[in-house]
Amino acid sequence: QQQVKQSPQSLIVQKGGISIINCAYENTAFDYFPWYQQFPGKGPALLIAIRPDVSEKKEGRFTISFNKSAKQFSLHIMDSQPGDSATYFCAATARTGNQFYFGTGTSLTVIP
């Protein structure tokens, strides 16, 4: 059973456009939601994370929107750049949980 569902599987965006990746979860015990960026041959790198006490968090061009009632959260990449081309994973965990539950990943391609 997939604890965190991520969509779309792949995304192609023009340079300068907005990339949007969505995730949904079921377990209401989850209270920490990070996003990871992974380049080929590398490990996932923590990009940005949010806790459910806020509805939005912004760091540079990256924004997480969080909807607690809908149990959904999304990553917005503003002014997308070719260097943003990577696979993005959402994840969720509980404060007392030992493991992260990951989405299946979104392969983002930003076309120059």
**Under the rule (CB under 8 A), what is the footprint of another protein?**
32, 34, 36, 41-46, 49, 89, 95-105
Nearest to another protein of 74, 106 (CB atom): 106
E-strand stretches of the chain: 4-7, 10-14, 19-25, 33-38, 45-50, 56-59, 62-67, 72-77, 86-92, 101-102, 106-111
Asked if residue 22 lies in contact with residue 74, where contact means CB atoms within 8 angstroms, the answer is yes
CB of 79 to another protein, least distance (A): 25
Q: Smallest distance, Å, CB 92 to another protein? A: 12
CB of 17 or CB of 26, closer to another protein:
26
Nearer to another protein, 69 or 95 (CB): 95
